[in-house]
Amino acid sequence: MNARAFNGRFGTRIALASAAGACLLAVAACAQHGGQASTVPGQAAGTSQPAAPPLPSTAPQLQDDYQAVVARVLPSVVQITTDQGLGSGVVFDKQGDIVTNDHVVGNAQHFQVRLSSSPTSVPASLVGTYPPDDLAVIKLDQPPASLMPATFGNSAQLRIGAIVLALGNPLGLSGSVTEGIISATGRTVSEPRSADSPGATLPDVLQTSAAINPGNSGGALVDLSGQVIGVPTLAALDQQVGGGAAPGIGFAIPSNLVSDIAGQIVHNGHVVNSHRAALGVGVVTVIDSAGQPGGAGVASVTSGGPAATAGIQPSSVITQIGGQPVHSDADLTKLLAGMQPGQQVPIVLNDPQTGSNKTITVTLGQLPGS
Residue 359 to residue 355: CA distance in whole angstroms: 14
DSSP codes joined into one string, 205-235: EEEE-S---TT-TT-EEE-TTS-EEEEEEEE
Structure confidence at residue 48 (pLDDT): 56
Whether the CB-CB separation of 169 and 79 falls below 8 Å is answered with yes
Claim to verify: residue 166 and residue 257 sit in the same structural domain: yes
Among 76, 217, 316, 328, the one annotated catalytic: 217
Tell me: pLDDT of 42 over 50: no
Structure confidence at residue 123 (pLDDT): 98
* Contact partners, residue 51, CB within 8 Å, separation at least 6: none
Residue 78 lies in a domain: yes
Q: Where residue 155 falls among pLDDT bands split at 50, 70, 90? A: very high
Among 97, 133, 134, 331, the one annotated catalytic: 134
Domain boundary among the residues 241, 268, 295 is at: 268
User: What is the amino acid identity at position 118?
Assistant: S
Q: Where residue 117 falls among pLDDT bands split at 50, 70, 90? A: confident
CATH number for the domain that contains residue 237 = 2.40.10.10
Residue 12 lies in a domain: no
* Contact partners, residue 145, CB within 8 Å, separation at least 6: none
Query: How does pLDDT run across 177-227, given as a tens digit for each residue?
Result: 999 999 999 999 988 776 666 778 899 999 999 999 989 999 999 999 999
Q: Counting beta carbons within 10 angstroms of the beta carbon of residue 18, is it exposed (0 to 12), middle (13 to 18) or buried (19 or more)?
A: exposed
Model-level pTM?
0.79
Mean pLDDT of 149-162: 97
**Residue 231's closest CA among 257, 267, 260?**
257
Structure confidence at residue 27 (pLDDT): 25
Tell me: pLDDT of 3 over 50: no
* Contact partners, residue 215, CB within 8 Å, separation at least 6: 10, 11, 14, 79, 86, 87, 88, 168, 169, 170, 171, 172, 173
Mean pLDDT of 99-117: 95
Residue 174 to residue 89: CA distance in whole angstroms: 12
Q: Where residue 353 falls among pLDDT bands split at 50, 70, 90? A: confident
Residue 96 to residue 111: CA distance in whole angstroms: 13
Residue 7 lies in a domain: no
Tell me: pLDDT of 167 over 90: yes
Tell me: pLDDT of 5 over 90: no
Domain that holds residue 119: 72-140
User: What is the amino acid identity at position 291?
Assistant: G
Residue 305 to residue 282: CA distance in whole angstroms: 12
Lowest mean pLDDT segment, chosen from 38-52, 79-93, 124-138 = 38-52
Structure confidence at residue 176 (pLDDT): 95
Residue 187 to residue 100: CA distance in whole angstroms: 20
Residue 148 to residue 77: CA distance in whole angstroms: 9
Mean pLDDT of 234-243: 72
Residue 60 to residue 250: CA distance in whole angstroms: 28
User: What is the amino acid identity at position 296?
Assistant: A
324 forms beta bridges with 321
CATH number for the domain that contains residue 356 = 2.30.42.10
Residue 186 lies in a domain: yes
**Total number of domains in the chain:** 3
Mean pLDDT of 224-236: 95
Claim to verify: residue 130 and residue 163 sit in the same structural domain: no
Whether the CB-CB separation of 306 and 240 falls below 8 Å is answered with no
Domain boundary among the residues 268, 295, 320 is at: 268
Structure confidence at residue 162 (pLDDT): 97
Residue 66 lies in a domain: no
Whole-number Cα distances in Å, 61 to 64, 85, 166, 180, 269: 5, 38, 20, 17, 43
Claim to verify: residue 311 and residue 256 sit in the same structural domain: no
Domain boundary among the residues 228, 245, 268 is at: 268
Claim to verify: residue 172 and residue 260 sit in the same structural domain: yes
Claim to verify: residue 243 and residue 344 sit in the same structural domain: no
Claim to verify: residue 171 and residue 132 sit in the same structural domain: no
Residue 335 lies in a domain: yes
> Is 134 one of the annotated active-site residues of the chain?
yes
> Is 370 one of the annotated active-site residues of the chain?
no
Residue 18 lies in a domain: no
Residue 74 to residue 69: CA distance in whole angstroms: 8
Among 88, 97, 102, 103, the one annotated catalytic: 103
Q: Which residue has the higher pLDDT, 246 or 343?
A: 343
Claim to verify: residue 119 and residue 164 sit in the same structural domain: no
Query: How does pLDDT run across 299-310, given as a tens digit for each residue?
Result: 999 999 999 999
Mean pLDDT of 239-250: 74
Lowest mean pLDDT segment, chosen from 2-6, 195-199, 340-344, 359-363 = 2-6
Whole-number Cα distances in Å, 134 to 55, 152, 199: 43, 18, 8
Tell me: pLDDT of 148 over 90: yes
Tell me: pLDDT of 138 over 60: yes
Structure confidence at residue 200 (pLDDT): 86
Structure confidence at residue 239 (pLDDT): 67
Mean pLDDT of 149-172: 96
Claim to verify: residue 184 and residue 262 sit in the same structural domain: yes
Residue 38 lies in a domain: no
Half-sphere exposure in the Cβ direction for 246 (13 Å, CA): 20
Query: How does pLDDT run across 7-36, given as a tens digit for each residue?
Result: 344 443 333 333 333 332 222 223 233 333
Claim to verify: residue 314 and residue 338 sit in the same structural domain: yes
Claim to verify: residue 176 and residue 264 sit in the same structural domain: yes
Claim to verify: residue 305 and residue 332 sit in the same structural domain: yes
Claim to verify: residue 264 and residue 281 sit in the same structural domain: no
> Is 103 one of the annotated active-site residues of the chain?
yes
Whether the CB-CB separation of 273 and 301 falls below 8 Å is answered with no
Residue 65 to residue 285: CA distance in whole angstroms: 50
Q: Which residue has the higher pLDDT, 190 or 298?
A: 298
User: In the predicted model, what is the mean pLDDT of the chain?
Assistant: 85
